[in-house]
Amino acid sequence: MFRLKIKLAPELAYLIGFWRKRRSSEGLGIYGNEEHQTHFTKLLLEMKIAPTEKIQTLEDKVFTYNTAYRKFFQEVEEEQLERFKYLNEYAASYIAGIFDSVGGITEKGIVYMTKMNAEDEMMLLRLGFATKRTKDGLAICKPKAFLIFIKNYVKTNTEHPAFKLVSK
């Protein structure tokens, strides 16, 4: 029997990060607004994880059935503290995916990510990004360093003025 060998690449790490905080109960998919669904679908197609005719949508969800990739995504998630412990493009991509999925920047310049658990907080701390717990998630204590780290890998929040400031 032929088994698909999936290797982690920065682009795939981004997709796993994006999926991780929005995963749907059906197949390999996410829930969220139309913008999130479109972005996820585009990534699935670009990475050839699923053909167009295999991608399904239900109200606020988009998903496909791909057991090999779903299992791989879950393995990466379970091993995140080990896999993303260095300041490299894999960790930057993964965190950028999470940021695009559940993060943002307030008008006061506070960089935050919602739906973050203690393991996520530990991963960020090990990478050198101290956080502060808020009622909704985590606020990044040194936002400039954090944004510089993920700026080349963020795909949906690229137009925010904060990214233009850290690029200079």
Q: Which letter does DSSP use for residue 111 in this model? A: E
Least Cα distance to 155 among 106, 86, 103 occurs for 103
For residue 74, what are its two tokens?
């879950």
Of 12, 22, 114, residue with least CA distance to 63: 22
Between CA 127 and CA 94 the distance in angstroms is 12
* pLDDT string in tens for the chain (168-residue length): 455 689 999 999 999 999 999 999 999 999 999 999 999 999 999 999 999 999 999 989 999 999 999 999 999 999 999 999 999 999 999 999 999 999 999 989 899 999 999 999 999 999 999 999 998 899 999 999 999 999 999 999 888 888 888 876
